[in-house]
Amino acid sequence: MNILILNWRDVGHPKSGGAELVTMEHAKCWVRSGHTVTWLTSWYTSGKKEEVREGVHIVRRAGSLTIYLYAVLFLLLKGKTFDVIVDEAHGFPFFSPLLNA
């Protein structure tokens, strides 16, 4: 399966916390099981725009708030290429079911 994770932060973000650590553990398990995992998240000053961490393709774009707008465009252009979308809501969801129906 091709899995997309939408989260405003990733494990490399300076303000990441437990939610990101747990998400990474799930993602690593899915990769070990043979799935492809992409994690769309916000960019931060010292972060790379893209990297692969323990088999998880991390894509960093926009800021902590503007990532939600970027995700709309990303889902409209590439959403149908994913079999599963994990929409993590930390106060505000990405509304992926509305965009990928």
Tens of pLDDT, residue by residue over 27-75, are 999 999 999 999 999 999 999 999 999 999 999 999 988 999 999 999 9
Query: What is the separation of C-alpha 97 from the centre of its chain, rounded to a whole number of angstroms?
Result: 15
Q: What is the pTM of this model?
A: 0.92
Query: Architecture of domain 2-99 in CATH?
Result: 3-Layer(aba) Sandwich (3.40)
Backbone angles phi, psi at 99, to 5 degrees: -95, -15
Residue 51 CB coordination number (10 Å): 13
